[in-house]
A and B are shown apart, each in its own frame.
Chain A
Amino acid sequence: MNWTIVTVFVVLFGTVTILGFAAARWRPGDMDLLHEWGLGGRRFGTIVTWFLLGGDLYTAYTFVAVPALVFGAGAIGFFAVPYTIIVYPFVFMVFPRFWSVAHKHGYMTAADFVRGRYGNRWLALAVAITGLVATMPYIALQLVGLQVVIGAMGVGGQGLWGDLPLIIAFLILAAFTYTSGLRAPAAIAVVKDVLIYATILAVVIVIPSELGGYGKIFAAVAPAKLILAAPTAASLGAYGGYATLALGSALALFLYPHAMTGVLSANSRHVIRRNAAMLPAYSIVLGLLALMGYMALAAGVAKNPLYADGFKQFGSTFAVPALLMASFPDWFTGVAFAAIGIGALVPAAVMSIACANLFTRNIYKEMIRPDCSDADESRMAKIVSLIVKIGALVFIILLPLQYAIQLQLLGGIWIIQTLPAVIFGLYTRWFDPRALLAGWAAGIATGSWMAGTLAFKASVFPLSVFGYTVPGYAALYSLIVNIAVATVMSLILNAAGGERRDETVAADYR
Protein backbone atom coordinates (compact mmCIF):
# COMPACT_ATOMS: atom_id res chain seq x y z
CA MET A 1 0.00 0.00 0.00
CA ASN A 2 1.29 3.46 -0.92
CA TRP A 3 0.62 5.77 2.03
CA THR A 4 1.12 9.07 0.22
CA ILE A 5 -1.40 8.21 -2.51
CA VAL A 6 -3.88 6.83 0.02
CA THR A 7 -3.60 9.87 2.31
CA VAL A 8 -4.18 12.40 -0.47
CA PHE A 9 -7.07 10.30 -1.77
CA VAL A 10 -8.73 9.97 1.64
CA VAL A 11 -8.36 13.68 2.46
CA LEU A 12 -9.95 14.73 -0.84
CA PHE A 13 -12.65 12.09 -0.54
CA GLY A 14 -13.40 13.27 3.02
CA THR A 15 -13.67 16.87 1.83
CA VAL A 16 -16.32 16.05 -0.74
CA THR A 17 -18.20 13.94 1.81
CA ILE A 18 -18.58 16.98 4.06
CA LEU A 19 -19.49 19.05 1.02
CA GLY A 20 -22.14 16.48 0.05
CA PHE A 21 -23.91 16.75 3.40
CA ALA A 22 -23.53 20.54 3.59
CA ALA A 23 -25.10 20.86 0.13
CA ALA A 24 -28.56 20.38 1.67
CA ARG A 25 -28.27 23.96 2.99
CA TRP A 26 -27.23 25.39 -0.40
CA ARG A 27 -30.11 27.51 -1.72
CA PRO A 28 -32.27 25.60 0.76
CA GLY A 29 -35.63 24.17 -0.19
CA ASP A 30 -38.28 21.95 1.34
CA MET A 31 -36.87 18.44 0.93
CA ASP A 32 -40.36 17.00 1.46
CA LEU A 33 -41.13 18.12 -2.09
CA LEU A 34 -39.83 15.82 -4.80
CA HIS A 35 -38.78 18.60 -7.17
CA GLU A 36 -36.64 20.13 -4.40
CA TRP A 37 -34.89 16.85 -3.57
CA GLY A 38 -34.83 15.33 -7.04
CA LEU A 39 -34.31 18.40 -9.25
CA GLY A 40 -32.57 20.82 -6.87
CA GLY A 41 -35.70 23.00 -6.97
CA ARG A 42 -35.12 23.59 -10.71
CA ARG A 43 -32.89 26.48 -9.72
CA PHE A 44 -29.49 25.70 -11.26
CA GLY A 45 -27.99 28.42 -13.45
CA THR A 46 -25.55 28.14 -16.35
CA ILE A 47 -22.38 27.47 -14.38
CA VAL A 48 -23.82 24.95 -11.91
CA THR A 49 -25.56 23.11 -14.76
CA TRP A 50 -22.28 23.01 -16.65
CA PHE A 51 -20.52 21.36 -13.71
CA LEU A 52 -23.45 19.05 -12.99
CA LEU A 53 -23.94 17.83 -16.57
CA GLY A 54 -20.19 17.59 -17.11
CA GLY A 55 -19.80 15.45 -14.01
CA ASP A 56 -22.91 13.50 -14.87
CA LEU A 57 -22.17 12.62 -18.51
CA TYR A 58 -18.38 12.27 -18.49
CA THR A 59 -18.36 9.58 -15.84
CA ALA A 60 -15.55 7.82 -14.01
CA TYR A 61 -16.31 4.75 -16.09
CA THR A 62 -15.89 6.81 -19.27
CA PHE A 63 -12.58 8.14 -18.03
CA VAL A 64 -11.29 4.62 -17.42
CA ALA A 65 -13.02 2.71 -20.22
CA VAL A 66 -12.33 5.04 -23.18
CA PRO A 67 -8.53 5.08 -22.75
CA ALA A 68 -8.70 1.34 -22.03
CA LEU A 69 -10.46 0.77 -25.35
CA VAL A 70 -7.93 2.92 -27.22
CA PHE A 71 -5.15 1.08 -25.37
CA GLY A 72 -6.51 -2.27 -26.48
CA ALA A 73 -8.24 -1.66 -29.82
CA GLY A 74 -6.71 1.56 -31.19
CA ALA A 75 -8.48 4.11 -33.44
CA ILE A 76 -11.98 2.61 -33.11
CA GLY A 77 -11.94 3.58 -29.41
CA PHE A 78 -11.69 7.23 -30.48
CA PHE A 79 -15.35 7.11 -31.58
CA ALA A 80 -16.11 8.78 -28.25
CA VAL A 81 -14.86 12.03 -29.82
CA PRO A 82 -17.22 12.22 -32.86
CA TYR A 83 -19.92 11.00 -30.46
CA THR A 84 -19.50 14.04 -28.24
CA ILE A 85 -19.22 16.29 -31.31
CA ILE A 86 -22.61 15.13 -32.62
CA VAL A 87 -24.41 15.24 -29.30
CA TYR A 88 -24.32 19.00 -28.61
CA PRO A 89 -25.85 20.31 -31.84
CA PHE A 90 -28.62 17.77 -31.15
CA VAL A 91 -29.03 19.00 -27.57
CA PHE A 92 -28.99 22.64 -28.70
CA MET A 93 -31.79 22.12 -31.21
CA VAL A 94 -34.02 19.69 -29.32
CA PHE A 95 -33.71 19.96 -25.55
CA PRO A 96 -34.75 23.57 -24.98
CA ARG A 97 -38.19 22.40 -26.21
CA PHE A 98 -38.16 19.60 -23.67
CA TRP A 99 -37.19 22.01 -20.89
CA SER A 100 -39.99 24.42 -21.81
CA VAL A 101 -42.80 21.88 -21.94
CA ALA A 102 -41.56 20.22 -18.73
CA HIS A 103 -41.40 23.58 -16.98
CA LYS A 104 -44.91 24.51 -18.10
CA HIS A 105 -46.50 21.26 -16.91
CA GLY A 106 -44.19 20.35 -14.01
CA TYR A 107 -42.84 17.21 -15.68
CA MET A 108 -39.90 15.65 -13.82
CA THR A 109 -39.13 12.73 -16.15
CA ALA A 110 -39.36 11.83 -19.84
CA ALA A 111 -42.18 9.44 -18.95
CA ASP A 112 -44.12 12.33 -17.34
CA PHE A 113 -43.92 14.15 -20.67
CA VAL A 114 -45.02 11.08 -22.66
CA ARG A 115 -47.96 10.60 -20.27
CA GLY A 116 -49.08 14.19 -20.80
CA ARG A 117 -48.43 14.35 -24.52
CA TYR A 118 -50.09 11.09 -25.51
CA GLY A 119 -52.44 10.44 -22.57
CA ASN A 120 -51.37 6.79 -22.62
CA ARG A 121 -50.17 5.35 -19.31
CA TRP A 122 -48.75 2.17 -20.89
CA LEU A 123 -46.46 4.06 -23.25
CA ALA A 124 -45.34 6.18 -20.29
CA LEU A 125 -44.72 3.01 -18.28
CA ALA A 126 -42.63 1.55 -21.12
CA VAL A 127 -40.51 4.72 -21.22
CA ALA A 128 -40.09 4.69 -17.42
CA ILE A 129 -39.11 1.01 -17.22
CA THR A 130 -36.67 1.38 -20.12
CA GLY A 131 -35.01 4.27 -18.31
CA LEU A 132 -34.76 2.34 -15.05
CA VAL A 133 -33.40 -0.85 -16.62
CA ALA A 134 -30.88 1.03 -18.79
CA THR A 135 -29.56 3.14 -15.92
CA MET A 136 -29.11 0.56 -13.18
CA PRO A 137 -26.16 -1.33 -14.73
CA TYR A 138 -24.67 2.09 -15.51
CA ILE A 139 -24.63 2.88 -11.78
CA ALA A 140 -22.91 -0.46 -11.16
CA LEU A 141 -20.25 0.42 -13.71
CA GLN A 142 -19.44 3.67 -11.89
CA LEU A 143 -18.20 1.42 -9.11
CA VAL A 144 -15.71 -0.09 -11.52
CA GLY A 145 -13.86 3.23 -11.81
CA LEU A 146 -13.75 3.41 -8.03
CA GLN A 147 -12.73 -0.25 -7.73
CA VAL A 148 -9.83 0.13 -10.15
CA VAL A 149 -8.27 3.11 -8.34
CA ILE A 150 -8.80 1.48 -4.93
CA GLY A 151 -7.13 -1.65 -6.30
CA ALA A 152 -4.27 0.40 -7.74
CA MET A 153 -3.61 1.93 -4.31
CA GLY A 154 -3.28 -1.59 -2.93
CA VAL A 155 -5.95 -0.96 -0.28
CA GLY A 156 -7.96 -3.89 1.07
CA GLY A 157 -7.22 -7.57 1.27
CA GLN A 158 -8.89 -10.77 0.21
CA GLY A 159 -12.61 -11.55 -0.07
CA LEU A 160 -15.09 -9.23 1.60
CA TRP A 161 -12.28 -7.21 3.24
CA GLY A 162 -11.09 -6.34 -0.23
CA ASP A 163 -14.46 -4.81 -1.00
CA LEU A 164 -14.68 -2.88 2.27
CA PRO A 165 -13.27 0.43 0.93
CA LEU A 166 -15.76 0.26 -1.93
CA ILE A 167 -18.63 -0.44 0.48
CA ILE A 168 -17.62 2.50 2.70
CA ALA A 169 -17.38 4.86 -0.28
CA PHE A 170 -20.80 3.79 -1.46
CA LEU A 171 -22.45 4.11 1.95
CA ILE A 172 -21.14 7.68 2.12
CA LEU A 173 -22.60 8.33 -1.31
CA ALA A 174 -25.95 6.81 -0.35
CA ALA A 175 -26.15 8.89 2.83
CA PHE A 176 -25.51 12.30 1.32
CA THR A 177 -27.74 11.61 -1.67
CA TYR A 178 -30.52 10.73 0.78
CA THR A 179 -30.18 13.94 2.77
CA SER A 180 -29.16 16.48 0.10
CA GLY A 181 -30.70 15.14 -3.12
CA LEU A 182 -29.48 16.60 -6.41
CA ARG A 183 -27.72 19.47 -4.62
CA ALA A 184 -25.03 17.05 -3.40
CA PRO A 185 -23.70 15.89 -6.80
CA ALA A 186 -24.00 19.46 -8.11
CA ALA A 187 -21.73 20.74 -5.32
CA ILE A 188 -19.30 17.82 -5.53
CA ALA A 189 -19.05 18.10 -9.32
CA VAL A 190 -17.23 21.43 -8.89
CA VAL A 191 -14.44 19.82 -6.83
CA LYS A 192 -14.26 16.82 -9.12
CA ASP A 193 -13.82 19.02 -12.18
CA VAL A 194 -11.04 21.10 -10.66
CA LEU A 195 -9.20 17.83 -9.97
CA ILE A 196 -9.92 16.40 -13.44
CA TYR A 197 -8.78 19.54 -15.28
CA ALA A 198 -5.62 19.72 -13.14
CA THR A 199 -4.90 16.07 -13.90
CA ILE A 200 -5.43 16.33 -17.64
CA LEU A 201 -3.33 19.49 -17.86
CA ALA A 202 -0.47 17.69 -16.10
CA VAL A 203 -0.93 14.62 -18.31
CA VAL A 204 -0.69 16.48 -21.63
CA ILE A 205 2.33 18.50 -20.48
CA VAL A 206 4.34 16.06 -18.36
CA ILE A 207 3.83 12.64 -19.94
CA PRO A 208 4.71 13.48 -23.58
CA SER A 209 7.92 15.19 -22.43
CA GLU A 210 8.81 12.12 -20.33
CA LEU A 211 8.16 9.86 -23.31
CA GLY A 212 9.97 12.04 -25.84
CA GLY A 213 7.08 13.83 -27.57
CA TYR A 214 3.85 12.88 -29.29
CA GLY A 215 5.72 11.48 -32.29
CA LYS A 216 7.27 8.83 -30.05
CA ILE A 217 3.92 8.05 -28.44
CA PHE A 218 2.15 7.37 -31.73
CA ALA A 219 5.18 5.46 -33.04
CA ALA A 220 4.53 2.90 -30.29
CA VAL A 221 1.09 2.11 -31.76
CA ALA A 222 0.78 -0.73 -34.28
CA PRO A 223 0.19 0.92 -37.72
CA ALA A 224 -2.95 -1.18 -38.28
CA LYS A 225 -4.51 0.27 -35.10
CA LEU A 226 -3.50 3.87 -35.73
CA ILE A 227 -6.32 4.56 -38.20
CA LEU A 228 -9.50 2.71 -39.12
CA ALA A 229 -9.44 -0.32 -41.43
CA ALA A 230 -10.62 0.87 -44.87
CA PRO A 231 -13.66 -0.69 -46.59
CA THR A 232 -13.13 -3.73 -48.80
CA ALA A 233 -15.14 -5.13 -51.73
CA ALA A 234 -17.17 -7.25 -49.29
CA SER A 235 -17.56 -5.02 -46.23
CA LEU A 236 -17.71 -1.39 -45.13
CA GLY A 237 -15.22 -2.43 -42.44
CA ALA A 238 -14.54 -0.25 -39.42
CA TYR A 239 -16.14 2.81 -41.07
CA GLY A 240 -19.63 1.48 -40.44
CA GLY A 241 -19.00 0.71 -36.79
CA TYR A 242 -17.22 4.00 -36.11
CA ALA A 243 -19.86 6.25 -37.65
CA THR A 244 -22.91 4.40 -36.30
CA LEU A 245 -21.45 4.05 -32.80
CA ALA A 246 -20.84 7.80 -32.75
CA LEU A 247 -24.28 8.71 -34.11
CA GLY A 248 -26.24 6.11 -32.11
CA SER A 249 -24.49 6.91 -28.84
CA ALA A 250 -25.08 10.62 -29.39
CA LEU A 251 -28.80 10.12 -30.00
CA ALA A 252 -29.08 7.86 -26.94
CA LEU A 253 -27.12 9.94 -24.43
CA PHE A 254 -29.71 12.56 -23.53
CA LEU A 255 -32.50 9.99 -23.39
CA TYR A 256 -30.87 8.54 -20.28
CA PRO A 257 -32.77 9.59 -17.16
CA HIS A 258 -29.68 11.10 -15.52
CA ALA A 259 -29.15 13.43 -18.49
CA MET A 260 -32.84 14.42 -18.40
CA THR A 261 -32.52 15.18 -14.69
CA GLY A 262 -29.56 17.46 -15.42
CA VAL A 263 -31.52 19.26 -18.14
CA LEU A 264 -34.66 19.71 -16.03
CA SER A 265 -32.82 21.06 -12.98
CA ALA A 266 -31.78 24.12 -15.04
CA ASN A 267 -33.61 27.34 -14.30
CA SER A 268 -34.19 28.39 -17.91
CA ARG A 269 -34.13 27.02 -21.44
CA HIS A 270 -31.25 29.37 -22.24
CA VAL A 271 -29.12 27.52 -19.67
CA ILE A 272 -29.45 24.44 -21.89
CA ARG A 273 -28.59 26.39 -25.03
CA ARG A 274 -25.54 27.99 -23.42
CA ASN A 275 -24.39 24.64 -22.09
CA ALA A 276 -24.50 23.06 -25.52
CA ALA A 277 -21.74 25.52 -26.43
CA MET A 278 -19.86 25.16 -23.13
CA LEU A 279 -19.95 21.40 -22.51
CA PRO A 280 -17.55 20.61 -25.42
CA ALA A 281 -14.78 21.72 -23.03
CA TYR A 282 -15.24 18.31 -21.43
CA SER A 283 -15.07 16.66 -24.86
CA ILE A 284 -11.56 18.05 -25.27
CA VAL A 285 -10.65 16.49 -21.94
CA LEU A 286 -12.19 13.21 -23.05
CA GLY A 287 -10.25 13.27 -26.34
CA LEU A 288 -6.99 13.93 -24.50
CA LEU A 289 -7.82 11.19 -22.00
CA ALA A 290 -8.42 8.79 -24.88
CA LEU A 291 -4.86 9.50 -26.04
CA MET A 292 -3.69 8.32 -22.59
CA GLY A 293 -4.37 4.83 -23.94
CA TYR A 294 -1.50 5.33 -26.40
CA MET A 295 0.67 6.98 -23.76
CA ALA A 296 0.22 3.83 -21.66
CA LEU A 297 1.31 1.75 -24.65
CA ALA A 298 4.38 3.93 -25.23
CA ALA A 299 5.28 3.91 -21.52
CA GLY A 300 5.16 0.11 -21.61
CA VAL A 301 3.18 -0.15 -18.37
CA ALA A 302 1.63 -3.47 -19.41
CA LYS A 303 5.09 -5.08 -19.41
CA ASN A 304 6.18 -3.50 -16.13
CA PRO A 305 6.27 -6.20 -13.41
CA LEU A 306 5.14 -3.57 -10.85
CA TYR A 307 1.69 -3.47 -12.50
CA ALA A 308 1.37 -7.12 -13.52
CA ASP A 309 -1.08 -7.88 -10.70
CA GLY A 310 -3.26 -4.90 -11.58
CA PHE A 311 -3.50 -5.83 -15.26
CA LYS A 312 -4.23 -9.42 -14.28
CA GLN A 313 -7.11 -8.30 -12.03
CA PHE A 314 -8.60 -5.42 -14.04
CA GLY A 315 -7.43 -6.02 -17.61
CA SER A 316 -6.89 -3.01 -19.86
CA THR A 317 -8.95 -0.76 -17.52
CA PHE A 318 -5.79 -0.73 -15.42
CA ALA A 319 -3.90 1.16 -18.17
CA VAL A 320 -4.76 4.65 -16.90
CA PRO A 321 -4.03 4.07 -13.19
CA ALA A 322 -0.76 2.33 -14.12
CA LEU A 323 0.27 5.20 -16.40
CA LEU A 324 -0.50 7.76 -13.68
CA MET A 325 1.54 5.87 -11.09
CA ALA A 326 4.43 5.44 -13.51
CA SER A 327 4.50 9.10 -14.57
CA PHE A 328 3.74 11.23 -11.50
CA PRO A 329 5.01 11.71 -7.95
CA ASP A 330 2.84 9.89 -5.42
CA TRP A 331 1.03 12.96 -4.10
CA PHE A 332 -0.17 13.89 -7.58
CA THR A 333 -1.19 10.32 -8.34
CA GLY A 334 -3.38 10.65 -5.24
CA VAL A 335 -4.99 13.78 -6.72
CA ALA A 336 -5.61 12.03 -10.04
CA PHE A 337 -7.04 8.94 -8.36
CA ALA A 338 -9.31 11.14 -6.25
CA ALA A 339 -10.51 12.79 -9.47
CA ILE A 340 -11.54 9.38 -10.82
CA GLY A 341 -12.99 8.19 -7.49
CA ILE A 342 -15.01 11.36 -6.89
CA GLY A 343 -15.87 11.28 -10.58
CA ALA A 344 -17.74 8.06 -9.84
CA LEU A 345 -19.80 9.65 -7.06
CA VAL A 346 -21.36 12.41 -9.15
CA PRO A 347 -22.94 10.28 -11.89
CA ALA A 348 -23.83 7.49 -9.46
CA ALA A 349 -25.72 10.02 -7.32
CA VAL A 350 -27.51 11.67 -10.25
CA MET A 351 -28.38 8.29 -11.79
CA SER A 352 -29.85 6.96 -8.57
CA ILE A 353 -31.86 10.17 -8.12
CA ALA A 354 -33.12 9.92 -11.72
CA CYS A 355 -34.16 6.30 -11.13
CA ALA A 356 -35.88 7.33 -7.92
CA ASN A 357 -37.79 10.10 -9.70
CA LEU A 358 -38.85 7.70 -12.45
CA PHE A 359 -40.00 4.96 -10.12
CA THR A 360 -41.86 7.31 -7.80
CA ARG A 361 -43.56 9.43 -10.45
CA ASN A 362 -44.28 6.91 -13.17
CA ILE A 363 -44.70 3.58 -11.39
CA TYR A 364 -45.53 4.21 -7.72
CA LYS A 365 -47.78 7.25 -8.09
CA GLU A 366 -49.17 6.30 -11.49
CA MET A 367 -49.80 2.60 -10.98
CA ILE A 368 -49.75 1.82 -7.25
CA ARG A 369 -50.78 4.82 -5.10
CA PRO A 370 -52.32 7.64 -7.13
CA ASP A 371 -53.48 9.38 -3.95
CA CYS A 372 -50.05 9.67 -2.28
CA SER A 373 -49.17 13.04 -0.73
CA ASP A 374 -46.21 15.21 -1.75
CA ALA A 375 -44.30 14.18 1.38
CA ASP A 376 -44.99 10.48 0.66
CA GLU A 377 -43.75 10.96 -2.87
CA SER A 378 -40.51 12.56 -1.71
CA ARG A 379 -39.95 9.93 1.02
CA MET A 380 -40.53 7.12 -1.47
CA ALA A 381 -37.97 8.60 -3.89
CA LYS A 382 -35.32 8.86 -1.17
CA ILE A 383 -35.84 5.22 -0.22
CA VAL A 384 -35.72 4.09 -3.86
CA SER A 385 -32.44 5.98 -4.35
CA LEU A 386 -31.00 3.88 -1.51
CA ILE A 387 -32.34 0.60 -2.88
CA VAL A 388 -31.00 1.31 -6.37
CA LYS A 389 -27.52 2.01 -5.03
CA ILE A 390 -27.42 -1.01 -2.75
CA GLY A 391 -28.58 -3.12 -5.69
CA ALA A 392 -25.70 -1.80 -7.79
CA LEU A 393 -23.23 -2.51 -4.99
CA VAL A 394 -24.43 -6.09 -4.47
CA PHE A 395 -24.38 -6.62 -8.23
CA ILE A 396 -20.79 -5.51 -8.63
CA ILE A 397 -19.50 -7.41 -5.57
CA LEU A 398 -21.28 -10.72 -6.14
CA LEU A 399 -21.49 -11.08 -9.93
CA PRO A 400 -18.77 -11.11 -12.58
CA LEU A 401 -17.96 -7.65 -13.94
CA GLN A 402 -18.77 -8.90 -17.43
CA TYR A 403 -22.51 -8.96 -16.59
CA ALA A 404 -22.58 -5.28 -15.72
CA ILE A 405 -20.72 -4.41 -18.91
CA GLN A 406 -23.08 -6.51 -21.03
CA LEU A 407 -26.16 -5.03 -19.38
CA GLN A 408 -24.82 -1.52 -19.91
CA LEU A 409 -24.29 -2.38 -23.58
CA LEU A 410 -27.87 -3.63 -23.83
CA GLY A 411 -29.03 -0.55 -21.91
CA GLY A 412 -27.72 1.71 -24.69
CA ILE A 413 -29.67 -0.32 -27.24
CA TRP A 414 -32.84 -0.19 -25.15
CA ILE A 415 -32.81 3.48 -24.13
CA ILE A 416 -32.63 4.67 -27.76
CA GLN A 417 -36.00 2.95 -28.36
CA THR A 418 -37.67 5.75 -26.37
CA LEU A 419 -36.50 8.29 -28.97
CA PRO A 420 -39.61 8.26 -31.20
CA ALA A 421 -41.97 8.75 -28.26
CA VAL A 422 -39.88 11.43 -26.55
CA ILE A 423 -37.99 13.33 -29.27
CA PHE A 424 -40.52 13.07 -32.11
CA GLY A 425 -43.15 13.88 -29.49
CA LEU A 426 -41.49 17.26 -28.91
CA TYR A 427 -42.31 18.20 -32.51
CA THR A 428 -45.44 16.33 -33.48
CA ARG A 429 -48.43 14.51 -32.07
CA TRP A 430 -48.91 12.66 -35.39
CA PHE A 431 -47.72 9.30 -34.04
CA ASP A 432 -50.33 7.16 -32.30
CA PRO A 433 -49.27 6.09 -28.78
CA ARG A 434 -50.20 2.46 -29.49
CA ALA A 435 -48.04 2.56 -32.63
CA LEU A 436 -45.15 4.03 -30.63
CA LEU A 437 -45.52 1.25 -28.07
CA ALA A 438 -45.44 -1.38 -30.84
CA GLY A 439 -42.37 0.30 -32.38
CA TRP A 440 -40.69 0.38 -28.97
CA ALA A 441 -41.32 -3.37 -28.51
CA ALA A 442 -40.08 -4.15 -32.02
CA GLY A 443 -36.93 -2.07 -31.44
CA ILE A 444 -36.19 -3.69 -28.08
CA ALA A 445 -36.66 -7.16 -29.59
CA THR A 446 -34.55 -6.47 -32.70
CA GLY A 447 -31.75 -4.80 -30.76
CA SER A 448 -31.60 -7.49 -28.09
CA TRP A 449 -31.59 -10.20 -30.76
CA MET A 450 -28.73 -8.48 -32.62
CA ALA A 451 -26.72 -8.20 -29.39
CA GLY A 452 -27.56 -11.86 -28.68
CA THR A 453 -26.06 -12.99 -31.99
CA LEU A 454 -22.86 -11.26 -30.86
CA ALA A 455 -23.04 -13.15 -27.53
CA PHE A 456 -23.68 -9.76 -25.77
CA LYS A 457 -19.95 -9.05 -26.14
CA ALA A 458 -20.17 -6.40 -28.83
CA SER A 459 -22.78 -4.03 -30.19
CA VAL A 460 -21.66 -3.67 -33.81
CA PHE A 461 -23.91 -5.92 -35.88
CA PRO A 462 -22.67 -7.13 -39.31
CA LEU A 463 -25.79 -6.39 -41.36
CA SER A 464 -25.68 -7.97 -44.80
CA VAL A 465 -27.26 -5.93 -47.61
CA PHE A 466 -27.29 -7.81 -50.94
CA GLY A 467 -24.09 -9.62 -50.00
CA TYR A 468 -22.30 -6.44 -48.83
CA THR A 469 -21.64 -6.32 -45.10
CA VAL A 470 -22.43 -3.04 -43.36
CA PRO A 471 -21.34 -3.32 -39.74
CA GLY A 472 -23.35 -0.93 -37.61
CA TYR A 473 -24.35 -0.16 -34.03
CA ALA A 474 -27.29 -2.43 -33.11
CA ALA A 475 -29.00 0.51 -31.35
CA LEU A 476 -29.21 2.45 -34.61
CA TYR A 477 -30.38 -0.51 -36.70
CA SER A 478 -33.07 -1.43 -34.18
CA LEU A 479 -34.14 2.22 -33.95
CA ILE A 480 -34.82 2.15 -37.70
CA VAL A 481 -37.07 -0.91 -37.19
CA ASN A 482 -38.78 0.91 -34.32
CA ILE A 483 -39.47 4.04 -36.40
CA ALA A 484 -40.71 1.97 -39.37
CA VAL A 485 -43.20 0.05 -37.21
CA ALA A 486 -44.38 3.19 -35.42
CA THR A 487 -44.88 5.02 -38.74
CA VAL A 488 -46.78 2.26 -40.53
CA MET A 489 -49.03 1.59 -37.55
CA SER A 490 -49.69 5.29 -37.02
CA LEU A 491 -50.79 5.60 -40.65
CA ILE A 492 -53.31 2.81 -40.10
CA LEU A 493 -54.54 3.93 -36.67
CA ASN A 494 -54.78 7.59 -37.69
CA ALA A 495 -56.84 6.60 -40.72
CA ALA A 496 -59.17 4.69 -38.41
CA GLY A 497 -59.69 7.90 -36.43
CA GLY A 498 -60.73 8.13 -32.78
CA GLU A 499 -60.10 10.53 -29.91
CA ARG A 500 -56.69 12.09 -29.50
CA ARG A 501 -55.60 13.17 -26.05
CA ASP A 502 -52.85 15.75 -25.56
CA GLU A 503 -52.58 18.10 -22.57
CA THR A 504 -49.89 20.24 -24.23
CA VAL A 505 -50.25 22.99 -26.85
CA ALA A 506 -47.73 24.26 -29.42
CA ALA A 507 -46.88 27.36 -27.35
CA ASP A 508 -45.70 25.19 -24.41
CA TYR A 509 -42.62 24.13 -26.36
CA ARG A 510 -41.17 27.59 -27.00
Chain B
Amino acid sequence: MSEKPSNEAKRRRARWPVFLLLLPVLAVLWIPSYNSVEPQLAGIPFFYWYQLLWIVISAGLTLFAYLTGE
Protein backbone atom coordinates (compact mmCIF):
# COMPACT_ATOMS: atom_id res chain seq x y z
CA MET B 1 0.00 0.00 0.00
CA SER B 2 2.80 2.40 0.82
CA GLU B 3 4.12 2.16 -2.76
CA LYS B 4 0.97 3.45 -4.32
CA PRO B 5 1.34 7.19 -3.69
CA SER B 6 4.94 7.19 -4.96
CA ASN B 7 3.81 5.45 -8.16
CA GLU B 8 1.19 8.09 -8.68
CA ALA B 9 3.71 10.84 -8.10
CA LYS B 10 6.00 9.22 -10.65
CA ARG B 11 3.23 9.12 -13.20
CA ARG B 12 2.39 12.77 -12.62
CA ARG B 13 6.03 13.74 -12.98
CA ALA B 14 6.25 11.84 -16.25
CA ARG B 15 3.28 13.54 -17.83
CA TRP B 16 4.25 17.18 -18.33
CA PRO B 17 7.10 16.71 -20.87
CA VAL B 18 4.54 15.29 -23.30
CA PHE B 19 2.86 18.68 -23.45
CA LEU B 20 6.14 20.22 -24.61
CA LEU B 21 5.44 18.38 -27.84
CA LEU B 22 2.71 20.89 -28.61
CA LEU B 23 5.38 23.60 -28.97
CA PRO B 24 6.69 22.54 -32.40
CA VAL B 25 3.12 22.10 -33.66
CA LEU B 26 2.13 25.62 -32.59
CA ALA B 27 5.43 27.08 -33.80
CA VAL B 28 5.10 25.86 -37.38
CA LEU B 29 1.38 26.63 -37.60
CA TRP B 30 2.02 30.24 -36.55
CA ILE B 31 3.14 31.25 -40.03
CA PRO B 32 3.41 35.07 -39.51
CA SER B 33 6.24 34.40 -37.06
CA TYR B 34 8.54 33.08 -39.77
CA ASN B 35 7.25 34.15 -43.18
CA SER B 36 10.16 36.44 -44.02
CA VAL B 37 13.42 36.45 -45.95
CA GLU B 38 15.51 38.16 -43.24
CA PRO B 39 17.49 37.27 -41.19
CA GLN B 40 19.30 35.02 -43.61
CA LEU B 41 21.70 32.29 -42.53
CA ALA B 42 24.57 31.62 -44.93
CA GLY B 43 22.40 32.91 -47.77
CA ILE B 44 19.36 30.80 -46.77
CA PRO B 45 16.19 32.88 -46.12
CA PHE B 46 14.69 32.77 -42.60
CA PHE B 47 11.53 30.97 -43.83
CA TYR B 48 13.61 27.90 -44.74
CA TRP B 49 16.27 27.62 -42.07
CA TYR B 50 13.83 28.38 -39.27
CA GLN B 51 11.54 25.49 -40.22
CA LEU B 52 14.48 23.12 -40.68
CA LEU B 53 15.65 24.17 -37.21
CA TRP B 54 12.27 23.14 -35.76
CA ILE B 55 12.76 19.60 -37.07
CA VAL B 56 15.79 19.35 -34.79
CA ILE B 57 14.07 21.05 -31.81
CA SER B 58 11.03 18.81 -32.22
CA ALA B 59 13.19 15.68 -32.30
CA GLY B 60 14.99 16.90 -29.18
CA LEU B 61 11.73 17.49 -27.32
CA THR B 62 10.44 14.07 -28.35
CA LEU B 63 13.64 12.48 -27.08
CA PHE B 64 13.23 14.36 -23.80
CA ALA B 65 9.62 13.18 -23.49
CA TYR B 66 10.78 9.64 -24.22
CA LEU B 67 13.53 9.69 -21.59
CA THR B 68 11.32 11.19 -18.88
CA GLY B 69 8.14 9.23 -19.71
CA GLU B 70 6.90 5.68 -18.98
Contacts and interface: CB of A to CB of B under 8 A. Distances in A.
Interface of A: 75, 78, 81-82, 84-86, 88-89, 92-93, 213-218, 226-228, 230, 239, 242-243, 246-247, 270, 273-274, 276-278, 280-281, 283-284, 287-288, 291
A105 B54 CA distance: 37
Interface string B17-35: 0100110110011011001
Contacts of B51: 78, 81-82, 85, 287
A81 B28 CA distance: 9
Interface string B36-68: 110010111101100110111011011101100
Contact of B43 (A89, A216, A287): A216
B22 to A, nearest CB: 7
B43 A92 contact: no
B31 to A, nearest CB: 5
Contact of B28 (A93, A246, A281, A291): A246
Contacts of B52: 81, 284, 287-288
Contacts of A287: 48, 51-52, 55
Contacts, number: 103
A92 B31 contact: no
A277 B28 contact: no
23 contacts: A82-B29, A82-B54, A86-B28, A86-B29, A88-B58, A88-B59, A88-B62, A89-B21, A89-B25, A92-B18, A214-B44, A216-B43, A218-B43, A218-B45, A227-B45, A228-B35, A239-B32, A243-B31, A246-B28, A247-B29, A273-B70, A277-B62, A288-B52
A181 B32 CA distance: 46
B31 A242 contact: yes
Contacts of A85: 24-25, 28, 51, 54-55, 58
Contact of B21 (A92, A227, A242): A92
Nearest to B26: A86
A202 B40 CA distance: 23
Interface residues of B, number: 33
B47 A78 contact: yes
B65 to A, nearest CB: 7
Nearest to A223: B37
Contacts of A276: 62, 66
Contacts of A277: 59, 62-63, 66
Given A84-B55, A89-B21, 18 more contacts: A78-B47, A85-B51, A86-B28, A89-B58, A89-B62, A92-B18, A215-B42, A216-B43, A226-B37, A226-B47, A228-B47, A242-B31, A243-B29, A246-B29, A273-B66, A278-B59, A287-B51, A287-B52
A218 B44 contact: yes
Contact of B36 (A78, A84, A227, A247): A227
Given A75-B47, A243-B29, A92 B55 contact: no
A217 B21 contact: no
Nearest to B30: A243
A358 B30 CA distance: 38
Contact of B55 (A81, A242, A270): A81
